[in-house]
Amino acid sequence: MIIHLLLGSNLGNRIENLQKARQLITEQAGRLVAVSSEYETEPWGFSSNNMFLNQAIAVETDLLPDKVLTVTESIEKQAGRKEKTCLHTYKDRIIDIDLLLADNIVLNTDKLTVPHPFMHDRLFVMQPLCEIAPDVLHPVFKKTIRQLLEDLLKSINQ
Protein backbone atom coordinates (compact mmCIF):
# COMPACT_ATOMS: atom_id res chain seq x y z
CA MET A 1 0.00 0.00 0.00
CA ILE A 2 1.13 3.56 -0.67
CA ILE A 3 0.29 6.10 2.01
CA HIS A 4 0.68 9.85 1.69
CA LEU A 5 1.60 11.83 4.78
CA LEU A 6 2.03 15.52 5.48
CA LEU A 7 4.84 16.53 7.83
CA GLY A 8 4.82 19.92 9.51
CA SER A 9 7.04 21.71 12.00
CA ASN A 10 7.14 25.25 13.37
CA LEU A 11 9.33 24.88 16.48
CA GLY A 12 13.04 24.32 16.84
CA ASN A 13 15.16 23.33 13.87
CA ARG A 14 12.32 22.68 11.47
CA ILE A 15 14.49 21.05 8.78
CA GLU A 16 16.00 18.63 11.29
CA ASN A 17 12.54 17.91 12.69
CA LEU A 18 11.29 16.90 9.23
CA GLN A 19 14.44 14.82 8.62
CA LYS A 20 14.03 13.02 11.94
CA ALA A 21 10.36 12.31 11.22
CA ARG A 22 11.22 10.88 7.77
CA GLN A 23 13.93 8.69 9.31
CA LEU A 24 11.61 7.35 12.02
CA ILE A 25 8.82 6.75 9.48
CA THR A 26 11.25 4.77 7.33
CA GLU A 27 12.37 2.72 10.34
CA GLN A 28 8.87 2.05 11.66
CA ALA A 29 6.36 2.27 8.82
CA GLY A 30 7.94 1.55 5.45
CA ARG A 31 10.03 2.71 2.52
CA LEU A 32 9.98 6.32 1.33
CA VAL A 33 9.03 6.42 -2.34
CA ALA A 34 8.59 10.19 -2.80
CA VAL A 35 9.46 13.35 -0.89
CA SER A 36 8.26 16.84 -1.81
CA SER A 37 10.12 20.07 -1.44
CA GLU A 38 9.77 21.91 1.86
CA TYR A 39 7.13 24.64 1.84
CA GLU A 40 7.25 27.50 4.31
CA THR A 41 3.72 28.45 5.29
CA GLU A 42 1.78 30.58 7.74
CA PRO A 43 0.23 28.81 10.71
CA TRP A 44 -3.28 27.66 9.90
CA GLY A 45 -6.11 27.77 12.42
CA PHE A 46 -4.18 29.68 15.09
CA SER A 47 -1.88 32.69 15.54
CA SER A 48 1.85 32.26 15.96
CA ASN A 49 5.04 34.10 15.09
CA ASN A 50 6.56 30.76 13.99
CA MET A 51 6.25 29.82 10.33
CA PHE A 52 5.72 26.17 9.40
CA LEU A 53 7.79 23.98 7.14
CA ASN A 54 5.53 21.44 5.46
CA GLN A 55 6.45 18.47 3.32
CA ALA A 56 4.48 15.65 1.74
CA ILE A 57 5.88 12.15 1.57
CA ALA A 58 4.75 8.86 0.05
CA VAL A 59 5.56 5.66 1.87
CA GLU A 60 5.21 2.06 0.73
CA THR A 61 3.96 0.10 3.73
CA ASP A 62 2.36 -3.17 4.77
CA LEU A 63 0.62 -1.42 7.66
CA LEU A 64 -3.11 -0.73 7.68
CA PRO A 65 -4.19 2.90 8.19
CA ASP A 66 -5.04 2.48 11.90
CA LYS A 67 -1.58 1.03 12.54
CA VAL A 68 -0.03 3.89 10.53
CA LEU A 69 -1.83 6.31 12.85
CA THR A 70 -0.46 4.51 15.92
CA VAL A 71 3.06 4.62 14.47
CA THR A 72 2.88 8.30 13.48
CA GLU A 73 1.52 9.33 16.88
CA SER A 74 4.39 7.43 18.50
CA ILE A 75 6.89 9.15 16.20
CA GLU A 76 5.45 12.54 17.12
CA LYS A 77 6.06 11.71 20.78
CA GLN A 78 9.57 10.38 20.07
CA ALA A 79 10.36 13.61 18.24
CA GLY A 80 9.29 15.64 21.27
CA ARG A 81 5.68 16.57 20.59
CA LYS A 82 3.94 16.96 23.91
CA GLU A 83 0.25 16.85 22.98
CA LYS A 84 -1.96 16.19 19.99
CA THR A 85 -4.45 18.72 18.62
CA CYS A 86 -7.71 18.47 20.51
CA LEU A 87 -11.10 19.81 19.38
CA HIS A 88 -9.45 21.70 16.50
CA THR A 89 -7.38 23.80 18.92
CA TYR A 90 -4.05 24.13 17.15
CA LYS A 91 -0.73 25.04 18.74
CA ASP A 92 2.92 25.39 17.79
CA ARG A 93 4.52 21.97 17.41
CA ILE A 94 7.87 20.32 16.89
CA ILE A 95 6.35 17.83 14.46
CA ASP A 96 2.93 17.04 13.10
CA ILE A 97 2.26 14.02 10.90
CA ASP A 98 -1.08 13.74 9.13
CA LEU A 99 -2.25 10.70 7.19
CA LEU A 100 -3.70 12.12 3.97
CA LEU A 101 -4.32 9.11 1.75
CA ALA A 102 -3.93 5.33 1.94
CA ASP A 103 -4.29 3.94 -1.56
CA ASN A 104 -8.02 3.98 -2.40
CA ILE A 105 -9.14 3.31 1.15
CA VAL A 106 -12.05 5.30 2.56
CA LEU A 107 -12.27 5.02 6.34
CA ASN A 108 -14.21 6.94 8.97
CA THR A 109 -13.79 5.90 12.60
CA ASP A 110 -13.70 7.76 15.89
CA LYS A 111 -9.89 7.94 15.69
CA LEU A 112 -9.20 8.23 11.97
CA THR A 113 -10.71 9.54 8.76
CA VAL A 114 -9.04 8.67 5.45
CA PRO A 115 -8.75 10.51 3.15
CA HIS A 116 -7.96 13.40 5.45
CA PRO A 117 -11.28 15.29 5.62
CA PHE A 118 -9.84 18.80 5.20
CA MET A 119 -6.87 18.22 2.91
CA HIS A 120 -8.57 19.56 -0.22
CA ASP A 121 -9.22 22.92 1.50
CA ARG A 122 -5.65 23.54 2.65
CA LEU A 123 -3.08 24.96 0.30
CA PHE A 124 -0.23 23.97 2.64
CA VAL A 125 -1.32 20.35 2.13
CA MET A 126 -2.25 20.36 -1.53
CA GLN A 127 0.85 22.09 -2.93
CA PRO A 128 3.42 19.62 -1.58
CA LEU A 129 1.08 16.67 -2.18
CA CYS A 130 0.56 17.71 -5.80
CA GLU A 131 4.32 17.87 -6.27
CA ILE A 132 4.69 14.14 -5.51
CA ALA A 133 1.24 12.75 -6.42
CA PRO A 134 -0.43 14.94 -9.06
CA ASP A 135 -2.21 12.06 -10.78
CA VAL A 136 -3.35 10.19 -7.67
CA LEU A 137 -7.12 9.98 -7.55
CA HIS A 138 -8.90 11.15 -4.40
CA PRO A 139 -11.14 8.16 -3.59
CA VAL A 140 -14.08 10.27 -2.42
CA PHE A 141 -14.08 13.23 -4.83
CA LYS A 142 -12.91 11.15 -7.82
CA LYS A 143 -10.58 13.94 -8.89
CA THR A 144 -6.81 13.92 -9.14
CA ILE A 145 -4.73 15.80 -6.61
CA ARG A 146 -3.82 18.22 -9.43
CA GLN A 147 -7.51 18.88 -10.15
CA LEU A 148 -8.23 19.42 -6.45
CA LEU A 149 -5.33 21.88 -6.19
CA GLU A 150 -6.58 23.74 -9.26
CA ASP A 151 -10.07 23.92 -7.72
CA LEU A 152 -8.61 25.22 -4.46
CA LEU A 153 -6.52 27.87 -6.24
CA LYS A 154 -9.60 29.03 -8.17
CA SER A 155 -11.61 29.36 -4.96
CA ILE A 156 -8.78 31.29 -3.27
CA ASN A 157 -8.48 33.69 -6.21
CA GLN A 158 -12.20 34.47 -6.44
Please report, for the domain that includes residue 35, its CATH number: 3.30.70.560
Helix, strand, coil in percent for the chain, rounding step 5: 35, 25, 40
* 55 domain residue, yes or no: yes
C-alpha 11/C-alpha 13 separation (Å) is 7
Residue 46 DSSP label:
S
More confident residue, 82 or 143: 143
93: annotated active-site residue? yes
Amino acid present at 15? I
Is residue 136 a part of any domain in this protein?
Answer: no
pLDDT at 62: 97
Q: Summarize pLDDT for 19-34 with one digit per residue, the tens.
A: 999 999 999 999 999 9
The pLDDT of residue 43? 84
Among 14, 22, 98, 122, the active-site one is 98
Q: Catalytic: 66? A: no
Backbone angles phi, psi at 38, to 5 degrees: -90, 135
User: Is the residue at 100 inside a domain?
Assistant: yes
Annotated active-site residue 96? The verdict is yes
Catalytic residue among 31, 93, 110, 135: 93
Mean pLDDT over the full length of the chain: 92
Write out pLDDT tens, residues 41-90: 988 777 788 899 999 999 999 999 999 999 999 999 887 766 555 445 66
pLDDT recorded at residue 41:
92
Is 14 an annotated catalytic residue?
no
- Whether 60 maps to a domain, the answer reads yes
Residue 103 within a domain: yes
Burial of 143 (0-12, 13-18, 19+ CB in 10 A): middle
| 135 domain residue, yes or no | no
Task: Count how many domains the chain has.
Answer: 1
pTM: 0.93
Does 155 have pLDDT greater than 70? Answer: yes
Range of the domain at 110: 2-119
